[in-house]
């Protein structure tokens, strides 16, 4: 468990993440993190759940319509 400190940043409040947390998340200053609700509480992650959902849908279409996509690529 890591304790996180809240600091005032302008009119907002920010969270300071220690270097070891940044290393575990594999993020650096300027990266975007996503705060999502999960069955066991909340999750802070660098992965966009909407992008992951869209990627899975695209993979499904590519697998299902492989021949159609191959023909479209020829044009």
Question: How do residues 2-56 score in pLDDT, each as one tens digit?
Answer: 889 999 999 999 999 999 999 999 999 999 998 888 899 998 888 776 777 787 8
Is residue 70 included in any domain, yes or no?
A: yes
Is residue 1 included in any domain, yes or no?
A: no
| Total domains in the fold of the chain | 1
Q: What is the pTM assigned to this prediction?
A: 0.56
pLDDT band at 73 (very low <50, low <70, confident <90, very high): confident
Is residue 46 included in any domain, yes or no?
A: yes
Is residue 8 included in any domain, yes or no?
A: no
Write out the residue range of the structural domain in which residue 50 sits: 29-75
Q: Which residue, chain included where needed, has tokens 């802070």?
A: 44
Q: What pLDDT is stored for residue 1 in this prediction? A: 83
Is residue 62 included in any domain, yes or no?
A: yes
Q: Which residues have a Cβ under 8 Å from the Cβ of 68 and sit 6 or more positions away? A: none
């Amino acid at each position: 468990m890591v304790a996180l400190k809240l600091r005032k940043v302008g009119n907002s409040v920010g969270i300071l993440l220690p270097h070891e947390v940044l290393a575990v998340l594999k993020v650096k200053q300027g990266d975007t993190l996503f705060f999502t609700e999960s069955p066991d509480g909340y999750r802070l992650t660098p992965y966009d759940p909407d992008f992951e959902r869209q990627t899975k849908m695209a993979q499904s279409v590519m697998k299902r319509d492989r021949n159609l996509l191959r023909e479209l690529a020829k044009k």
